[in-house]
A and B are shown apart, each in its own frame.
Chain A
Amino acid sequence: MSRAWERCVPVFDIPILTRPFVALCTLGAVACGLVLYREAAGLGAASGMNDAYAWGIWKTFNIMALTGLGSGGFSIGIATWLFGRRSLHSVMRTAVLSSFLIYASGLMLLGIDVGRPWNFLWILAPWRWNVHSPMLEVGFCMPLYTAVPLFLEAIPPVLEWIHSRWPELESTAEMAESLLKRIYPWVLGLAFLLPAMHQSSLGALMLLAGNQVHPLWQTPWLPLLYVWAASFMGFAFVSVVLMVCHLVWNRSLDEDVLREMSRITAWLIATWLIFRFADLAMRGRLHLAVQISAPSALFWMEILLLLSAALMLAVASKRHNVRLAFQGSILAALGGLMYRFDPTTLAFQPRAGAFYFPTFIELLIDIGFLSLTVATFSLLAKVLPILPASTRLWRAMESARWNKSVLHPQQAEYTHYAAAD
């Protein structure tokens, strides 16, 4: 019964400077101040990282885990373009923008996390590369992905905005758009290939750690499990974003699209779980799962989260249950985050007596950056046409806000709100 999402419409009826927005920006500002402290005093002063646990939450959470949530552009894109789920095209912009913001904030945090960032310029010198290193693959692929395909995919809303806000720049915007249209398939190709490469390389990073990763997680198939997890995390996260936007900004929900997404997510999780257990069984590690120990508890927590997520999403997709879809997506996102985070920290034991817990400053910097990400998303969603909506809403927006700018000669007739479409 819900109207199909046909256009992307900015959140035009809510002002940008709301109290939550200001609060988020304040947290972000605090984080920026703390970043200066980290630069001046060193990593040890600002974080709880030590020689035993050399990677803290900035790497293990924001890069290893959170970019899984930021794989919406990747997984939804593949579903839309390679597998022909055309209805998902309407959420592509949301997916792309959330991916872009998560990747951008993650990469900025990575820049803060590395100790000698000035040497990263060697990335431009291929003769210096250690081509077999998974770290190189990640270090090369992630910035490239963010800067090229993800950026180009995120450009069209900006061009539209320019087109509508500044009529004098119309021709430039149109030229850019047509150029983009010409190269889009190749851009999309990169947008699917590069994340597949680096999401799997993120898994490969922990391969080299060998026995330090608990055997319940360590497997030669780690790269595949990571990229697969990224796929369903991307779906889950975009569903959550859409539903949160509905709750907070009162945007419409297209139930058909949500159901489709839930269905796909459920299938992805189910297959992933089967593969995980098969892998454990084939390598003879299942007995570790049935022992009573901290790692097995962690393992079962992940499995339970994902299993319940899969079931909830499966039910939600069959029975028109948005609440269940929301809860299921959250659990899926959480389970995926846990799975990708555990081999780096909780299931990672370099030696007896090693210990790590993030410090307050470390947490604040992380929270600040995430707050900035959310704030940026809210700002951009209000200004640019990102969130999906019906054509009716588009016309309402035009009449409410963009009255003065005429986008298309034929638009003039539709500037007034019509009761029925």
Chain B
Amino acid sequence: MVRGGAAFLRLIGHRASGTITVTLKWDRCNWTSRMYRLMHGLGKTRRLAQNEARIKMEEMVIGKRSETIADHIEASGISRRRFLEFCAVLVAMAPSGLALTKKASALEVAQKIGASKRPSVIWLHFQDCTGCTESLLHASRPDIADLIFNVISLDYHETFMAASGYQAEEALRHAVEENNGNFILVVEGSIPTREHGAYMKLAGRPALEVLRDTGSEAALVVAIGSCASWGGIPSADPNPTGALGVDSILANKAVVNLPGCPPNPYNFLSVLLEYSTMHRIPALDEYHRPKFAYDRLIHEDCPRRGHFDAGRFAGVFGDEGHRQGWCLYKLGCKGPVTHAPCSTMHFNETPGVWPIGIGTPCAGCTEKATAFRIPIFQTVDIHSITPPEALPAIDARAGSIGVAAATTVGAIAGAAATAAMIASRRLPDSKRIRAIQKSEDTTKPRNKDIDLEGR
């Protein structure tokens, strides 16, 4: 940890002024104090102090685009340990799905993030419940709220920003203009399209229009939540508002969908940081969802999978199986048809805090074909059939004789035997033949029994 810290500092030191070390609040670094004593010993104290002052002044300017995330972290007083912990969580989330975290240690991730600039984020809410924002806020360790405000430049967010009214809309317009196509647009909530989008208006303008205007300028559009991804709850039958997802509106734009109701906050953070540090979007599937989070089914990694494989199911809520924590498939769990990382990444960073974990069947909230369409307690078909826990024995079981077949065989055998016996009685034995030979009669008696010759 100490050596790691030193390397981190070295990085920052180089960035700041080449060779001069920067005074830190973190005094436990031996390297720093050693260097300081050395410098001091060489009599360059004054110059150091002057440089320190200069750098400190620069650091105080918050909001400048040339500053890196590392600068902001340092300035805001967030400990490096907490930052590294955050990076460690990122690595656990997507060890190889992101270029950012691919085969990287938490430290390497921290370095990459630290070296990049703060991206500008504009966050629009449409027909939403703000659950996705809540999900982001509910990360408890580290304090994501703090981190977000320092890692990104959140230029417009209706829930978080203090401003309202004209000032808020002015901030939005200003952010769009100033960033000159460099900002990330995050959309939460579905967009109503009926009645020319009259069902949701933002400062008097239909959501449709706002999205089109803002979206056309954005560098990256992220649709967070099922509503923004494909319409969500508002789009459930009969979809009175004509709610659509972002990619249906912004047809020509690259949109990253992060469905979920709400999605895990780390889905969003990983995409954001991948983009701002490595300047690339993670690999997406055919629904524009990042594969690192959405390529596996809940069923594939479910903690209760063993029960499924062994055929142990909860029948009704509260029965013995349910109490034992058995598989919820028969209660309508949509796990087998739902792509989401919930099996491995639970919510609120607390193991077990997710629907199946608390004994409720998965509702399939990320899937357009499933969520709010198939009833929650209706069973789904399993598409990817896998073997059960039980295995067959070495030898197969035998079959049995059909009744009709056995009767037929018996009947034939019986009939044949009888016929043969009757027939053989009609043939002459040696006694009869001797009798015939004795008689020497060529005229044919009517009695066929002793008639050796036919007609």
Direct contact between the two chains A and B in their complex (CB within 8 A): yes
| Known contacts A250-B454, A250-B455, A353-B398; A327 and B433 CB within 8 A of each other | no
Q: Does B25 contact A (CB under 8 A)?
A: no
- Tell me the minimal C-beta distance from B408 to chain A in angstroms: 5
Q: Determine the chain B residues whose CB is within 8 A of the CB of A360 once the complex forms.
A: 402, 404-405, 408
| B428 in the interface (beta carbon within 8 A) | yes
The CA of A13 and the CA of B420, in the complex, are separated in Å by 25
Interface residues of B in 431-455 (CB under 8 A from A): 433-434, 436-437, 440, 442, 448, 451-455
Spot the interface stretch: A87-95, A167-175, A241-249. A241-249
Bound Cα distance A420, B442 (Å): 9
In the complex, what's the smallest C-beta–C-beta distance from B216 to chain A, in angstroms? 61
Given contact pairs A48-B402, A351-B395, A357-B399, A320 touches B448 in the complex (Cβ within 8 A): no
The yes or no answer to A65 lying at the interface (CB within 8 A) is no
B427 is contacted by which of A319, A326, A356, A364 (Cβ under 8 Å)?
A326
Asked whether B430 lies within 8 Å of A319 as measured between CB atoms, the reply is yes
| A52 to B399 Cα, complex, angstroms | 11
Contact across chains for A355 and B405 when beta carbons are under 8 A apart: no
Q: B278 on the interface (CB 8 Å rule)?
A: no
> Residue B401 at the A interface, CB < 8 A?
yes
List 30 A-B residue pairs with CB atoms under 8 Å apart, sorted by A's residue number: A1-B437, A1-B440, A1-B452, A243-B427, A246-B454, A247-B423, A250-B448, A251-B454, A252-B453, A252-B454, A253-B453, A320-B430, A321-B430, A322-B433, A323-B429, A324-B430, A326-B423, A351-B396, A353-B396, A354-B396, A354-B398, A356-B399, A357-B399, A357-B400, A357-B405, A357-B406, A358-B409, A359-B404, A360-B404, A393-B454
Complex interface: chain B residues within 8 A of A251 (CB): 454
Indicate the member of B396, B398, B427, B437 with the most A CB atoms within 10 Å. B427
Q: Is B426 an interface residue (CB 8 A)?
A: yes
Q: How far is the CB of B433 from chain A (nearest CB, A)?
A: 5
Identify which of A2, A320, A358 contacts B434 (C-beta below 8 A). Answer: A320
Count of chain B residues with a beta carbon within 8 Å of a chain A beta carbon:
35
A residues 239-291 in Cβ contact with B at 8 Å: 243-244, 246-247, 249-253, 255
Set of chain A residues within 8 Å of B424, measured between Cβ atoms: 323, 326-327, 330
Given A247-B423, A367-B412, verify A355-B448 contact (CB < 8 Å).
Answer: no
Q: Give a binary string over A345-385; 1 marks a CB under 8 Å from any B CB, 0 the rest.
A: 00000011111111110111001000000000000000000
Which residues from A are CB-within-8-Å of B399? Answer: 48, 50, 355-357
Q: Which residues of A contact B395 (CB under 8 A)?
A: 351-353
Give chain B residues whose Cβ lies under 8 Å from the Cβ of A363: 405, 408-409
Judge whether B396 and A52 touch: CB under 8 Å: yes
**Bound complex: CA A352 to CA B397 (Å):** 9
Residues of A contacting B34 with CB < 8 Å?
none
Closest residue on chain A to residue B431 by CB atoms: A321
B430 closest partner in A (C-beta):
A321
CB pair A353–B397 under 8 Å, yes or no, is yes
C-alpha spacing A106/B404, complex, angstroms: 24
Are B428 and A322 in touch, CB under 8 angstroms? yes
Q: How far is the CA of A356 from the CA of B397 in the complex (A)?
A: 12
Given A48-B405, A250-B451, A393-B454, do A320 and B412 touch, yes or no (CB 8 Å)? no
Interface string of A310-331 (1 = CB under 8 A from B): 0000000001111110110010
- Give CA–CA (A324, B454) in the complex, Å: 20
Q: What is the CB-to-nearest-CB distance from A269 to chain B, in angstroms, rounded to a whole number?
A: 18
A2-B452 contact given A323-B427, A326-B427, A363-B409, CB 8 Å threshold: yes
**Could you say which residues of chain A place their CB within 8 Å of the CB of B454?**
246, 249-252, 389, 393
8 Å CB contacts to A: which residues of B144-172?
Answer: none
Do A3 and B427 have beta carbons less than 8 Å apart? no
- Taking a contact as CB atoms under 8 Å apart, the answer to whether B429 and A359 are in contact is no
CB distance from B36 to the nearest CB of A (A): 82
The reply to whether A396 and B455 contact each other, CB–CB distance below 8 Å, is: yes
The answer to whether residues A322 and B429 also contact, given A3-B453, A246-B454, A357-B399 and a CB cut-off of 8 A, is yes
Using C-beta atoms within 8 Å of the partner chain, give the interface range for chain A. Answer: 35 or more
Q: How far is the CA of A252 from the CA of B452 in the complex (A)?
A: 6
Chain B residues lying within 8 Å of A324, measured Cβ to Cβ, are 429-430
Residue of A nearest to B394 (CB): A352
Q: Which residues of B contact A2 (CB under 8 A)?
A: 452-453
Residues of chain B within 8 A (CB-CB) of A351 are 395-396
Chain A nearest Cβ from B416, distance in angstroms: 9
Tell me if B323 is interfacial: C-beta within 8 Å of chain A.
no
Residues of B within 8 A of A356 (CB): 399
Q: Tell me whether A80 is interfacial, beta carbon within 8 Å.
A: no
Q: Which residues of chain A come closer than 8 Å to B425, judged between CB atoms?
A: 323
Q: Quote the shortest CB–CB distance from A279 to chain B (angstroms).
A: 30
* B residues in contact with A255, CB < 8 Å: 433, 452
Q: How far is the CB of B449 from chain A (nearest CB, A)?
A: 11
A308 at the binding interface (Cβ < 8 Å): no
CB pair A357–B402 under 8 Å, yes or no, is: yes
Minimum CB–CB distance from B112 to chain A (whole Å) comes to 59
With A48-B402, A251-B454, A364-B408 as given contacts, are A320 and B427 in contact (CB-CB < 8 Å)?
no
| Chain B residues with CB below 8 A from A323, complex form | 424-425, 427-429
Asked if A390 lies at the interface with its beta carbon under 8 angstroms from chain B, I say: yes
Which of B405, B427, B428 is in CB contact (< 8 Å) with A359?
Answer: B405
Q: Please, which residues of chain A bring their CB within 8 A of the CB of B452?
A: 1-2, 252-253, 255, 322
A362-B396 Cα distance, complex, nearest whole Å: 23
In the complex, which residue of chain B has the Cβ closest to the Cβ of A325?
B427
With A353-B397, A353-B398 given, can you name 5 additional A-B contacts, CB distance below 8 Å? A1-B452, A355-B398, A367-B408, A390-B453, A393-B454
Docked complex Cα distance between A390 and B442 (Å): 14
Q: How far, in Å, is A355 (CB) from chain B's closest CB?
A: 4
Q: 3 closest A-B pairs (Cβ-Cβ)?
A: A355-B398, A360-B404, A252-B453
List chain A residues, Cβ under 8 A from B423.
243-244, 247, 326
Distance, CA A354 to CA B420, complexed state (A):
34
**Cα separation A321 to B427 with both chains bound (whole Å):** 9
* Bound: A246/B455 CA distance, A: 11
Residues of chain A within 8 A (CB-CB) of B401 are 357
Contact B453 A359 (CB under 8 A): no
For chain B residues 382-418, which have a beta carbon within 8 Å of chain A? 395-402, 404-406, 408-409, 412
Question: Shortest Cβ distance from A91 into chain B, in angstroms?
Answer: 15
Within the complex, the shortest CB–CB distance from B378 to chain A, in Å, comes to 35
Residues of B within 8 A of A253 (CB): 452-453
Q: Contact between B405 and A330 (Cβ–Cβ < 8 Å)?
A: no
The residues of B that contact A52 with a CB separation of less than 8 Å are 396
Q: Are A355 and B400 in contact (CB under 8 A)?
A: yes
